[in-house]
Structure 1
Amino acid sequence: MIIFPAVDLRHGRVVRLQQGRADAETKYSDDPAQVAARWQNEGAEWLHIVNLDGAFGDSKGVQLNAPALQAILTTVSIPVQFGGGLRDLASIESAFARGVARVVIGTAAIENPQLVSDALARFGTARIVIGIDARAGKVATHGWRTQSPISNLDLAKQMSERGVVRIVYTDIARDGMLRGVDTNAMAELARAANVRVIASGGVASLRDIEALAAQEEVEGAIVGQALYTGAINLEEAIAVAHRLC
């Protein structure tokens, strides 16, 4: 199983939010490239970068995040998975042109599912991931501010039918809260849609890493708050993930 350190960008800085709330922000660094380099130096095999301003529709913040993303891509040699505000082929292509290895499509998967099909046809299944962010079993969009009537399982099945093979699944209620991860929900979604899942939201301890690694359908875990607070040591987490997979 792959451990993805999370680097969330807002107005050019590295921050963490609680349950995706913009008013519950903790700033960790003004130097995203330095943060990314730290995770690479500690053994990270991938990075998960989120353009929070893109997700929120904040154009000023997006402009500030662009050089931050480029600095990260210039600094590290490991592959980067990137999401946040990617809602058309042009923005996806731009991300790949910058050097991103894989993109995560979230809101657009609901609002414009044809985009998913077009992106898969153009860039391939290995480079396109769907982000499903759920609260109480229902999908949330636009930076988690809009609640959709569609269930997480139904959306996952619809995306699988379009050819998607990998989903980042975030449990919003647990994100940034260090409450532990719902491994059963992750595995249930993976089995229901016949996809691979990258778990996100609530990873708080090595015990969570062990529990996720024991699930055959879970191929990765995104870890954010626990790394930044020191609750999890990245090198130890990677060792546990490799030992159990």
Structure 2
Amino acid sequence: MILYPAIDLKDGQCVRLQQGEMERATVFSDDPGDMAARFRRLGFKRLHVVDLNGAFAGESRNADAVDAILASTDVPVQLGGGIRTMEAIGRWLERGIARVILGTAAAKDPDLVREACRAFPGRIVVGIDARDGMVAVAGWADETNMRARDLAMAFEDAGVAAIVHTDIGRDGMLTGLNLPETIEIANAVTTPVIASGGFSGMDDIARLAAPEAGKLDGAIIGRALYDGRLDPEAALAALPQAA
């Protein structure tokens, strides 16, 4: 079970949104590189980074901040937000990103995901962001008529490295992960699934350690870590991290 601290980037700063709304952003740091180094010192072995401006614009907008993160830590970084072409995917992988997350592209251009998986095996993650079970795209601004579980199953044979399932309604709200829905997706596919949205603290660590969550590959931690609601040492002790 891998715990991924989240670094969400808006205008070059580390922020947390509530339910994906840009106007409900809380700034936690103006130094993304320092934040990445801090998470590494705490013992986390992966990072989850999202370019929020890029997600809305459809192209990367926080490249300097991402480069600062890469320069400040040696842990693998997965990056999403506005990456919607093969050129952009290749460019980020060449710059040192370990895995690229495709969200809007997965819903709107599945052929791109399949092409990317062939070109970059093991390095493409599908991000499935859902509100009430329905997939949302373009920085969560547009809702589709596709169910999250169906989108996950559509890539079962594509060679996707992992799926990140985010419950938009819980994101940044500290109300607890939507494990029932995420576990349902994990049970429907063979692709590793990562839970995201609403992580609240040690209660969620206990839920992730329970047998019913054993199929999950990991979880993303956001506001609970920044607010000090989660004890990193206790969390990592309860869920030992893969190398």
For Structure 1 versus Structure 2, the TM-score category normalised by the shorter chain is over 0.9
Matched to 1:30, the amino acid is: D
Deviation at 1:192, TM superposition (A): 1.4
Q: Give the alignment partner of residue 82 of structure 2, picking from 80, 85, 102.
A: 85
Query: Which residue number corresponds to residue 166 of structure 2?
Result: 170
**Does residue 1:207 correspond to 2:198, yes or no?**
no
Question: Contact 2:58–2:81 at 8 Å: present in 1 too?
Answer: no
Deviation at 1:58, TM superposition (A): 7.1
Q: Aligned partners of 2:42, 2:88: CA distance in 1, in Å?
A: 31
Matched to 1:206, the amino acid is: M
Query: What do residues 48-68 of structure 1 show as CA deviations (whole Å, max 9, x unaligned)?
Result: 010111101176xx44x1111
Q: Aligned partners of 1:143, 1:206: CA distance in 2, in Å?
A: 28
Matched to 2:137, the amino acid is: T
Unaligned runs of 5+ in 1: none
Question: Normalised by the size of structure 1, how large is the TM-score?
Answer: 0.94
Query: Which residue number corresponds to residue 17 of structure 1?
Result: 17
Which one has a larger percent helix, Structure 1 or Structure 2? Answer: 1
Alignment of 1:29-68 (within 5 A): 29-57=29-57, 62-63=60-61, 65-68=62-65
**Does residue 1:191 correspond to 2:187, yes or no?**
yes
Q: CA RMSD in A?
A: 1.3
Question: Contact 1:39–1:234 at 8 Å: present in 2 too?
Answer: no
Query: What do residues 150-204 of structure 1 show as CA deviations (whole Å, max 9, x unaligned)?
Result: 0001101101133325200001110000001121111100111232111100110
**Does residue 1:225 correspond to 2:223, yes or no?**
yes
Q: Give the alignment partner of residue 122 of structure 1, picking from 109, 119, 123.
A: 119
Report how many aligned residue pairs link the two structures: 239
Q: Which moved more, 1:233-242 or 1:158-167?
A: 158-167
Matched to 1:177, the amino acid is: M
1:45 aligned counterpart, secondary structure: coil
| Percent identical residues | 46
Q: Judging changes above 3 Å, is the alpha-carbon distance between structure 1 residues 193 and 58 closer, same or farther for their aligned structure 2 residues?
A: closer
Question: Contact 1:2–1:238 at 8 Å: present in 2 too?
Answer: no
Matched to 1:203, the amino acid is: F
Question: Normalised by the size of structure 2, how large is the TM-score?
Answer: 0.95
Q: Aligned partners of 1:49, 1:194: CA distance in 2, in Å?
A: 24
Deviation at 1:98, TM superposition (A): 1.0
Deviation at 1:84, TM superposition (A): 0.6
Q: Aligned partners of 2:167, 2:208: CA distance in 1, in Å?
A: 14
Q: Aligned partners of 2:224, 2:29: CA distance in 1, in Å?
A: 15
Deviation at 1:210, TM superposition (A): 2.0
Query: Which residue number corresponds to residue 239 of structure 1?
Result: 237
Unaligned runs of 5+ in 2: none
1:161 aligned counterpart, secondary structure: coil
Question: Contact 1:102–1:129 at 8 Å: present in 2 too?
Answer: yes
Q: Aligned partners of 2:64, 2:160: CA distance in 1, in Å?
A: 30
Query: What do residues 50-95 of structure 1 show as CA deviations (whole Å, max 9, x unaligned)?
Result: 0111101176xx44x1111101101101110111111011111111
Query: Which residue number corresponds to residue 152 of structure 2?
Result: 156
Runs of 4+ in 1 over 4 A off after TM superposition: none
Q: Aligned partners of 1:96, 1:235: CA distance in 2, in Å?
A: 31
Question: Contact 1:197–1:219 at 8 Å: present in 2 too?
Answer: yes
Query: Which residue number corresponds to residue 216 of structure 1?
Result: 214
Deviation at 1:113, TM superposition (A): 0.5
